[in-house]
Amino acid sequence: MDFLAQSIIEALRMIWSLDPEMYFIVYVSLYVSFFSTIIASILGVPLGFLIAVKEFRGKRAVITILNTMLALPTVVIGLFVYAFLSRRGMLGHLGLLYTPKAIIIGQVILILPWVATFTMAAVSRIDERYRRTAQTLGANALQAALAVAREARFGILAAIIAAFGRVIAEIGIAMMLGGNIKGFTRTMTTAMALEHNKGEFVLAVALGLVLLAVSLIMNVALQLVQGKYGSNR
Amino acid sequence: MQKLISTLICAVLLLAALPALAQDKVITMSTTTSTEASGLLDYLLPEFLKDTGITVRVMSKGTGAALRDGMDGNADIVFVHDKSREDKFVAEGYGTKRYYVMYNDFVIVGPESDPAGIKDAPSVTEAFKRIAAAGAPFVSRGDDSGTHGREKQLWEATGLALTEAKSPEDGGDWYFSIGQGMGAALVFAEEKNGYVLSDRGTYLQYKYGRTQPFDLVVVYEGDDMLKNPYGVIPVNPEKHPHVKFDLADAFAQWLVSERGQHVIGSYQLHGQPLFFPDAK
Amino acid sequence: MSLYALRDVRQVFEGRTVLDIEALELAAGGSYALLGPNGSGKTTLLHVLAFLRPPHHGEVRFQGRRVEWRDGALTALRRKVVLVDQHPIMFSTTVLKNVEYGLRMRGVSAPERRKTAEECLERVGMSAFAQRPAHLLSGGETQRVAIARAMACRPEVMLFDEPTASVDLENQAVIDGVIRELCREQGISIIFSTHKRLEAARLAEEKVFLFQGRLTGPGGENLLTCTIEQREQGAVCTVGNNVALPLRTDRSGLGRVFIKPDLIRLFPLDAGSKEADDQGHVGEVLQMTAEGSKIKVLVDIGVPLRGILSQEEARSLDVMVGEKVRVHIDPEALELAG
């Protein structure tokens, strides 16, 4: 107990003293997670939207595939993307392996199904009459779709926040594709794994506290959004 | 009812205790990945069991984490290779005595084309200087392991003002500190077509012990500064009364005995001796 | 000038024909009430007229031009026609933004949008609510805002689905007033569905009757879908909800039957007439109106039927609207159509 308390006190001192190494790691984590979430949202929100509102052949198959991908472990994604980006792989010549871009690619694959399926669920909950109302008021197909998306906005936002929470806390992809390079691709989670491996705890605990704080903020945001969403229905 | 519950609890506890009962002479050893990954322990521990009836449970990690296990009383004995930290470990009273056991050696692994031209370097420090001068990719374990400790010493010996902060981000895009194990570092170096300081055992495992080819070769070896001594230290029962000091010390004594030294010396990996007996 | 012309329009949902209109013409500038019981196809017809759902079959002409059910063409048409739902959907934003919505879709500038929206809210007496969240209004308030929102689009045609069905009396009066004003003062064509005959009489110049998806409208009100069976005592045709009428035919199966209004005879419930006893039905008088020298009676015997009485007959019948009567339908009154 004494040992844990001491580690936490040291960790708080480190956070308070704005330790540059620690904050750079936090920055890398936030940067990578932010961009993977943005890209996954740009792709996933319209995808989920289309699946929700359009009838097409193979729709069920697409939903099944997305649901399966929800359960994909990060290390599996890491392994597959590694095989593509490795010097021996198809995309090896791009030199992407062990860069933040590689982490972003893997993480986009990780959360794209999340964003898409949760968007789909959120849009499906919106009544067909919203679209009809928009249309009769003169909206064209795109404008009507935007009106429906607007009604589903809290659900979609919740999906995006949940996706961000997932990528910032994952380690498999960041370790396998980023390589945990100090000052370059070392994220909060890979740094914590390393510190534990080194038998050092202060930095790990400090990062753990930051990660906890980020998760807390994300969850509070999610609760607020869902609360608002709930009262609308 | 109460009786039934207590019977059940007893049964569960008994089941959980079974492995311990079956092998009552068991010690836990925290060691570095190199001893286990090289296959030495798989060769050596059965011999020790045959001689003494003691089973050794192995946890392999970096030297730092292994010593930490000893300091926290999570292991009965540590078997690592970072002499200065081992001495400190003993000096601070966490261990009873450091026994010299054996040494192996480090090698510089790199691309066959040897872009930095270190093959004919007169010394390992000169080899390091040439890598830095050429700006050829160099992968550092960066994980506070024994190998990492040795690498830092070697960089210090070059007199170059090299700090860990050298990274792709701040201009020195040739020095990669990846904070991972030896295997990951070798794979990383292969990806980057760069140099890496490796223990010979792990390198041999990657070169010959797996199905995929491994492109890098040993480009520099043999300097005395690349010798890597291993020490074994029983954890001090005065710090942690629960440790099985007697059994741990028996293992240490066996390792430095003529019999133990012979077993170590006869171990070969892919046709090459890997560890050289070093007991004093 | 013809506003809508429908020809052979059929709408089928899940294999069931819910709308089947051979021909219907509606004139521009008119006000029409769509009358009929629940499930008679009023809403389905309104969705066709609002260009929201293409019919399964048939041709719709709007302002003399054939409607093409393509997305791009429809958007242009929809900008001339607005439908106000029975339970209007409000977008989850302020009342004002909701009213501005149609104008925003048409690319109207923000200041002008705001001005028009405020005027329209004023017209329905909802100015005070402009900044309220629209999705939290009551039923009557929602209906009024929805009308303002539709008006703001400055449509040529306004369609209402049961505009006062789910609002209280006070809101109903406001809505009635607004609808009347739209039609009379602004020349907007109005088509609304209702099940309230009184409302239809107040607001509409013309009435269109729908029953089981078919027009039974002016002159053809007693045109009914029926099932004909051959029994021992002769053919029987069943209409509506299990109302069996004798008929002279050797056909059987599905058909349509026309019941001549002048051959429907009504008797007081307590008259004990022998004619009434054997082939009698009991019905409720829903409406009585003067048609020239005759009295038109709407009586519900399970299906709504129109009967024509002479003034003398009506006087001797001596019933009020809402009372029960005995209804005798002579087999001669039934005539198979189509």
B213-233 pLDDT per residue, tens: 898 999 999 898 999 889 999
Q: Can you give the pLDDT at residue C219?
A: 43
Q: Can you give the pLDDT at residue B169?
A: 44
CB < 8 Å to C145, chain A:
none
Question: Would you tell me which residues 96-115 of chain C have a C-beta closer than 8 angstroms to some C-beta of chain A?
Answer: 101-102, 105-106
Per-residue pLDDT of C3-53, as tens digits, reads: 999 999 999 988 888 999 988 999 998 899 998 777 788 999 999 999 999
Q: Which residue, among B224, B226, B222, B216, has the nearest Cα to B114 in the 3D structure?
A: B216
CB < 8 Å to B165, chain A:
183
Chain A closest-CA separation from residue C154 CA (Å)? 10
Question: Would you tell me which residues 36-75 of chain C have a C-beta closer than 8 angstroms to some C-beta of chain A?
Answer: 47, 50, 52, 71-72, 75
Provide mean pLDDT across the span C248-266.
79
Banded pLDDT at C274 (limits 50, 70, 90): low
CB < 8 Å to B144, chain A:
198-200
**DSSP string across A87-143:** TTSTTGGG--TTSHHHHHHHHHHHHHHHHHHHHHHHHHTS-HHHHHHHHHTT--HHH
Structure tokens at B150: 């040795």
Question: Would you tell me which residues 116-175 of chain C have a C-beta closer than 8 angstroms to some C-beta of chain A?
Answer: 135, 149-150, 153
Higher pLDDT: C277 or A140? It is A140
**How many Cα atoms occupy the beta-carbon half-sphere of B89 within 13 Å?**
32
Chain C closest-CA separation from residue A59 CA (Å)? 21
Minimal Cβ distance to C153: which of A132, A138, A143:
A138
Residue whose token pair is 């959907």: C89
Q: What percent of chain C has pLDDT over 70?
A: 94
Q: What percent of chain B has pLDDT over 70?
A: 88
Banded pLDDT at C321 (limits 50, 70, 90): confident
- Of all residues in chain A, the one with the smallest CA distance to C72 is A140
Q: Check pLDDT > 70 for residue B188.
A: yes
Q: Can you give the pLDDT at residue B162?
A: 62
CA distance B127 to B108: 9
Q: Mutate which of C51, C74, C90, C101 to test chain A, going by most A C-beta atoms within 10 A?
A: C101
Tell me how far apart the 2 most distant CA atoms of chain C are, in Å.
77
Instruction: Tell me, yes or no, if A190 comes closer than 8 A to chain B by beta carbon.
Output: yes
Q: What is the pTM of this model?
A: 0.70
Angle between helix A20-53 and A141-151 (nearest 10): 120
Q: Check pLDDT > 60 for residue B17.
A: no
Minimal Cβ distance to B67: which of A97, A196, A199:
A199
Does A139 contact C83 at a Cβ distance shorter than 8 Å? no
In this structure, of A47-51, B74-78, C148-152, C295-299, the range with the lowest mean pLDDT score is C295-299
Per-residue pLDDT of B81-130, as tens digits, reads: 888 899 999 999 999 999 999 998 999 999 999 999 999 999 999 999 99
Q: Can you give the pLDDT at residue C327?
A: 85
CA distance C160 to B138: 76
CB < 8 Å to A190, chain B:
179
**DSSP string across A166-224:** HHHH--HHIIIIITT-TTTT--HHHHHHHHHHHT--HHHHHHHHHHHHHHHHHHHHHHH
Structure tokens at A123: 């849009």
Q: Check pLDDT > 80 for residue A228.
A: no
Q: Check pLDDT > 50 for residue B167.
A: no
Chains that touch A (3 or more CB pairs under 8 A): B, C
Instruction: Tell me, yes or no, if A22 comes closer than 8 A to chain B by beta carbon.
Output: no
Does A98 contact B61 at a Cβ distance shorter than 8 Å? no
Q: Check pLDDT > 60 for residue C157.
A: yes
CB < 8 Å to A151, chain C:
91-92
Instruction: Tell me, yes or no, if B167 comes closer than 8 A to chain A by beta carbon.
Output: yes
- Of all residues in chain A, the one with the smallest CA distance to B191 is A87
**How many Cα atoms occupy the beta-carbon half-sphere of C171 within 13 Å?**
18
Q: Check pLDDT > 90 for residue C184.
A: no
Q: Can you give the pLDDT at residue C272?
A: 61
Per-residue DSSP letter, C187: -
Minimal Cβ distance to B167: which of A86, A184, A199:
A184
Does C71 contact A141 at a Cβ distance shorter than 8 Å? yes
Does B190 contact A3 at a Cβ distance shorter than 8 Å? no
Cβ contacts of residue C324 below 8 Å, gap of 6+? Answer: C269, C282, C283, C284, C285
Q: Mutate which of C83, C90, C91 to test chain A, going by most A C-beta atoms within 10 A?
A: C91
CB < 8 Å to A183, chain B:
165, 167-170, 177
Q: Is A69 helix (H, G, I), strand (E, B) or coil?
A: helix
Chains that touch C (3 or more CB pairs under 8 A): A
Provide mean pLDDT across the span B165-173.
50
Cβ contacts of residue B93 below 8 Å, gap of 6+? Answer: B236, B238, B239
Q: Check pLDDT > 70 for residue B15.
A: no
CA distance A112 to B100: 55
Chains that touch B (3 or more CB pairs under 8 A): A
CA distance C288 to C299: 9
Q: Burial code of B229-262, b = ≥16 C-beta within 10 A, e = fewer?
A: bbbbbbbbbebbeebbbebbbbbbebbbeeebbe
CB < 8 Å to C91, chain A:
130, 133, 147, 150-151
Q: What is the CA radius of gyration of chain C?
A: 23
Provide mean pLDDT across the span C304-332.
82
Banded pLDDT at B11 (limits 50, 70, 90): low
Does B165 contact A183 at a Cβ distance shorter than 8 Å? yes
Whether the Cβ atoms of residue B89 and residue B95 lie closer than 8 Å to each other = yes
Instruction: Kindly list the structural domains of chain B, giving each domain's residue range(s) and its CATH number in brackets, ordered by start.
Output: 2-103+230-277 (3.40.190.10), 105-227 (3.40.190.10)
Provide mean pLDDT across the span C144-173.
91
Does A98 contact B188 at a Cβ distance shorter than 8 Å? yes
Q: Can you give the pLDDT at residue B2?
A: 66
Instruction: Tell me, yes or no, if A226 comes closer than 8 A to chain C by beta carbon.
Output: no
Report the residue count for chain B: 280
Report the residue count for chain A: 233
Whether the Cβ atoms of residue B230 and residue B98 lie closer than 8 Å to each other = no
Q: Check pLDDT > 90 for residue C80.
A: yes
